[in-house]
Structure 1
């Protein structure tokens, strides 16, 4: 049985680069089918939700909030969408930001056409794909998150892992009994932003109120 080529939406703010990638992906049989291209965040979100590709090939930096914003907005409506970051940047901060936002992999623009096609197929199948040098950044970052959470290697908590770093900070402070205004002062953000983060934490953890949140945190030894 012949496997259909993966369907792809290209998201990059450089039209010339998109054209080159599209030509590379569509040459010959069995490569990839490009369903469309987008050059900014709003256009990307609309296109991905409309075309529902197997994989979104996503740049990090672009007008309107960048790749992280595309991931956030698409996953609100289509949580199963798979993303592969493709960027000129190999900065650890960019790599980790995209992975924490939900990308399944991150490769740099030095990748060959054949390697890129292979990466798209693997991401469609559910694998995580990284350029060799970048894999270490991800391993180091997530090892740090385990240590921060007081967990040993092999004891990953999938519920905790879905929270962002800021949401984890807010979670710990709220669980320790701080008021929204006190959390805001400690983190140099507004009380409204604290409220937004608490709502996100409650939603992700499927909790109803801060009392349940405090109990949840205590059970995982996240508070003293």
Structure 2
């Protein structure tokens, strides 16, 4: 059973999310909170597999709550609920360790699938805004010369092919798109991604992209 916690100050939103999720036999909503301040408390009390966190709430917002929850419970998997105009929160939430985000307008089937994906340990980036997030990382990453060569420490033990895959990931390409560009199978790409996560010491694809920009493995394009 996948255990989910809901953090949103709007009761109707929580009711809607609960109805959708609990219509599935493998998902249970174990706790709700109306503010970011309550988020860490319910995570500590109920140990949910996935936390759905609204980004805009009075008092402590979803960004601050994400940092607080992950500081106390590093293995928590948080999905930010957002709208198109919340970009600035989303970028910082991903840097803080959130496992991804969903638009609040997401269809029920997509919501259920997203919870299952995150509970299984994968990162989640809504396709509608993935590339916008990547572009923002590029704009906010430290500026470097085009001929910048990342340090050996930044690259770690990544092979040339793994660096190539990581750079394509950082452009927002899916495994299938990377496979097509490199003329390899999706299974091969998935294996490369798994090795990249292990070597960089990050838990999911989102954090690998953040690390790629922050360390200079990927240089922002003008």
TM-score (norm. length: structure 2): 0.62
Aligned pair count?
Answer: 155
- 1:106 aligned to which of 91, 101, 105: 101
1:20 pairs with 2:16 = yes
Q: Report the RMSD for the aligned CA atoms in angstroms.
A: 2.7
Gap regions ≥5 residues in structure 2: 157-215, 217-222
1:134 pairs with 2:126 = no
The aligned residue for residue 4 of structure 2 is 8
CA distance in 1, matches of 2:49, 2:108: 18
1:59 pairs with 2:54 = yes
Gap regions ≥5 residues in structure 1: 160-219
CA distance in 1, matches of 2:109, 2:150: 35
The aligned residue for residue 163 of structure 2 is none
1:148 pairs with 2:143 = yes
SS at match of 1:50: helix
Cα shift readout 1:125-156 (whole Å, capped 9, x = no counterpart):
22221221210122223334555367658989
Aligned pairs for 1:190-209 (under 5 A) are: none
CA distance in 2, matches of 1:145, 1:18: 33
Q: Which of these two proteins has the greater Rg computed from alpha carbons?
A: 1
C-alpha contact (below 8 Å) 1:60/1:67 kept by paired residues: yes
User: Which stretches of structure 1, 4 residues or longer, exceed 6 Å deviation after superposition?
Assistant: 153-156
The aligned residue for residue 86 of structure 1 is 81
- RCO comparison, higher one (Cα < 8 Å, 6+): 2
SS at match of 2:121: coil
Cα shift readout 1:129-187 (whole Å, capped 9, x = no counterpart):
1221210122223334555367658989499xxxxxxxxxxxxxxxxxxxxxxxxxxxx
CA distance in 2, matches of 1:16, 1:154: 50
